[in-house]
């Protein structure tokens, strides 16, 4: 598997019951007091409280991903657009839609080093090439970053902000871009995945890339050179996304799904956590 001495993974802990149909998009932010994630196709944003209870806020037909805002509020991607709240515990109100085609929905996103939002999409029927990766700046101006995508998924930056890692799930690989003057250029394969579909991803403070492999029951950690450093194996097949949190950013939170499972798994849809030896990067807030 490669040198595992640089990354040590602790014992997996299940934090919630199987409360999500399609859990996704975990984000840790001190501005809202811990971890939030989405039950995507229920249109709900979930918050994990210190006592282990979970709060739900319904934001629309779809709740795709969320990020804190630099002013202390938060932004959430809805089915075809964005909604914003001005306070950390505020209820978001619609901002604008990016398109009007009802056959395409938001999927996964992130924030770049300049505080601009990455917003990725997918077709409900998963038709190849119908999706897009957009960029939204603080004023709401929209730029197409990558056309002809199929299922736009995890995207995150290296600690020096010189590289961006990206999953378009049906390709079966994680790609890497160079970041030059804020633009993503020179897209190329980073690692291929023999099993599972690359879903959400996060990059830690050492530049290692953690990829949730949907259908393969695991999150795999790759070095910046592409070697496998560690693996987190989960008791469910549909592992969707991961992020770092906790006061020292060494808690790896992992979301899971039971979407379209013919044979339900008791823990599918639960939230999990594992301690790791390398901390993550602090969340980047949206400037808009």
The residues annotated with a catalytic role in the active site are 199
Which residues make beta-bridge pairs with 43? none
Instruction: State whether residue 171 is helix, strand or coil.
Output: helix
Cβ neighbours, 10 Å, residue 206: 18
Which residues make beta-bridge pairs with 45? 38, 57
User: Of the candidates 192, 182, 153, which has an alpha carbon nearest to the alpha carbon of residue 169?
Assistant: 153
Instruction: State whether residue 177 is helix, strand or coil.
Output: strand
Separation CA 48–CA 37 (nearest Å): 9
Q: Which residue has the tokens 């950690």?
A: 221
Query: Per the structure block, which two tokens stand in for 34?
Result: 């811990």
User: Of the candidates 218, 241, 77, which has an alpha carbon nearest to the alpha carbon of residue 156?
Assistant: 241
Query: Per the structure block, which two tokens stand in for 54?
Result: 């979970």
Q: Which residue has the tokens 């409900």?
A: 124
Separation CA 245–CA 33 (nearest Å): 11
Which residues make beta-bridge pairs with 199? none
Which residues make beta-bridge pairs with 156? 165
Query: Per the structure block, which two tokens stand in for 243?
Result: 């992020």
Which residues make beta-bridge pairs with 207? none
Phi, psi of 209 (to 5 degrees): -110, 120
Cβ neighbours, 10 Å, residue 226: 14
């Amino acid at each position: 598997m490669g040198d595992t001495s640089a990354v040590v993974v602790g014992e997996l802990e299940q934090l919630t019951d199987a409360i999500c149909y399609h859990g996704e998009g975990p984000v840790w932010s001190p501005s809202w007091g811990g971890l939030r994630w989405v039950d995507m196709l229920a249109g709900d944003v979930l918050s994990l409280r210190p006592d282990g209870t979970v709060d739900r806020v319904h934001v629309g037909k779809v709740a795709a991903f969320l990020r804190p805002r630099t002013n202390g509020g938060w932004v959430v991607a809805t089915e075809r657009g964005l909604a914003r709240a001005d306070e950390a515990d505020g209820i978001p109100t619609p901002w604008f839609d990016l398109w009007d085609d009802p056959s395409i929905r938001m999927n996964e996103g992130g924030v770049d080093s300049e505080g601009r939002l990455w917003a990725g999409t997918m077709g409900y029927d998963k038709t190849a090439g119908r999706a897009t990766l957009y960029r939204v700046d603080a004023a709401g101006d929209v730029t197409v970053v990558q056309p002809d995508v199929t299922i736009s998924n995890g995207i995150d930056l290296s600690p020096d902000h010189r590289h961006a890692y990206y999953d378009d799930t049906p390709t079966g690989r994680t790609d890497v871009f160079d970041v030059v003057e804020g633009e993503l250029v020179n897209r190329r394969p980073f690692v291929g995945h023999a099993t599972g579909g690359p879903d959400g991803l996060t990059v830690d403070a050492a530049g290692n890339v953690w990829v949730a492999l949907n259908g393969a029951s695991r999150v795999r950690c790759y070095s910046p050179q592409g070697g496998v450093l560690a693996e987190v194996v989960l008791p469910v097949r549909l592992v969707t996304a991961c992020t770092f949190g906790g006061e020292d950013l060494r808690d790896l939170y992992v979301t899971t799904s039971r979407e379209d499972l013919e044979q339900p798994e008791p823990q599918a849809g639960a939230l999990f956590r594992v301690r790791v030896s390398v901390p993550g990067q602090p969340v980047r807030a949206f400037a808009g």
